[in-house]
Chains A and B, each alone.
Chain A
Amino acid sequence: MDLAFLAAGIGAGLTVIGGGYGIGKLAASAMDASGRQPEAAGDIRTSMIIAAALIEGISLFGLVICILLALK
């Protein structure tokens, strides 16, 4: 009974939910801020990309663990 494969799949799904929710909130705030002050749109876009990459880094930590589980 290879529960490792099941665990890898469920873990990957949960990780993606967390990452997607976080980056979605980030993008929503960035859109609001750009709408309020269109001159700052360039700076906001840069900060948004940096924050999105950091959040994605965390969700990829979880993905690496799931890959390790599935490959064992």
Chain B
Amino acid sequence: MILESVKVVTDTLSKVADKNAGSGWIMHHVLDGNELPLEPFGVIHLPQLHLFGLDISITKHIVFMWLAAIIVFFVFSFVARAYKKSLVPKGFTNLIEILIVFVRDEIAKPTIGEGYQKFLPFLLSTFFFILTMNFLGLLPYGNTATSNIAITSTLAIFSFIVIQGSGMKKNGVFGYFKGLVPHGIPVLFLPVLFVVEVLGLFTKPFALAVRLFANMTAGHIVIFSLIGLIFVLQTYFVAPVSVAFALFIDLLEILVALIQAYIFTILTSLFIGMAVHQDH
């Protein structure tokens, strides 16, 4: 009896999921692909390249990642040139200075303490790159490059390299591992604590990658699902409700884009601070 009702529920769910305008459409827009769909005007097919059997074709997410990199590069070249002319910024440079000072005073200084200037270029690059990639996904015809686990994993790997490299440079390789476990604990706990700390070195960047990926993907899936509700239910009457909810979630996505870039950067700088000043 229970088994029959469970079967009815799962049959309905799989029927809704299999409708050709249902989950296939949502996943097609959220996941990576080899074409840039410009909806009413057509589709741009991106080149597929194969090198030594590895598939390095240019996909949607890669195009938008390059676009974000080009935007960040040109914006900051402009800002750097404006600073050469005068130390007091005007106009657009003033706007960027607000964000740069925010990253320096709220993210780098409190968490790293002294010697934060060396890490400021990396933290600024991370923050603005992730922010630009997140924002590009909210524009029409845009796509979020950070909703690709490969791109967020690469950013997390860079963070990992900077954290371990800076920690080992400051404390020496052996001294860094020695400083992982705190002083004054019974010798019995030393191996366990050491293993736990070394595992923690790897889980923290992994969590960074998955947090950014999941936040961006989940937000976009919610927006697409709300709009796709119109197609699944096949009526026009659900359109006002759908569009209103999707608008609200879109505004929330702007906030989430900012917060996720901020969280990635502040956690990276927190780990750098913990690696460099180990006796804190």
A-B pairs with beta carbons under 8 A, tally: 53
- Interface size range on B against A: 20 to 34
Q: A49 within 8 Å of B by Cβ?
A: yes
Which residue on B lies nearest to A57, using beta carbons?
B211
User: Provided the pairs A46-B106, A49-B259, A53-B263 are in contact, do residues A6 and B211 lie with their beta carbons within 8 angstroms?
Assistant: no
CB of A63 within 8 A of CB of B17, answer no
Mask of A1-15 contacts with B, CB within 8 angstroms, 1/0: 111011001000000
Question: Please, which residues of chain B bring their CB within 8 A of the CB of A60?
Answer: 210-211, 214-215, 218
Q: Is the CB of A61 within 8 A of B106?
A: no
CB distance from B134 to the nearest CB of A (A): 13
Contacts of B7 in A (CB 8 A): 1
Cα separation A57 to B214 with both chains bound (whole Å): 8
Structural contact, A53 and B13, CB atoms closer than 8 A: no
A71-B27 in contact (CB<8A) = yes
B86 contacts chain A at the CB level, 8 A cutoff: no
Of the candidates B13, B207, B217, B259, the one whose C-beta lies within 8 Å of that of A6 is B13
| Chain B interface, >50% SS class | helix
A70, B177: Cα distance in complex, Å: 42
Smallest beta-carbon distance B105→chain A, Å: 12
A46 to B259, CA, bound (A): 11
A63 contacts which chain B residues (CB < 8 A)? 214, 218
| Set B13, B218, B266: member contacting A2, Cβ < 8 A | B13
Q: Which residues of A contact B13 (CB under 8 A)?
A: 2, 5-6, 9
**Chain A CB within 8 A of B9 CB:** yes
**CB–CB B210/A61 < 8 A:** yes
Chain A residues within 8 Å of B9, by CB: 6
For window 34-72 of A, CB contacts with B under 8 Å fall at: 46, 49-50, 53-54, 56-57, 60-61, 63-64, 67, 70-71
13 contacts between A and B (CB under 8 A): A2-B10, A5-B14, A49-B262, A50-B266, A57-B207, A57-B210, A57-B214, A57-B215, A60-B211, A60-B215, A63-B218, A64-B210, A64-B214
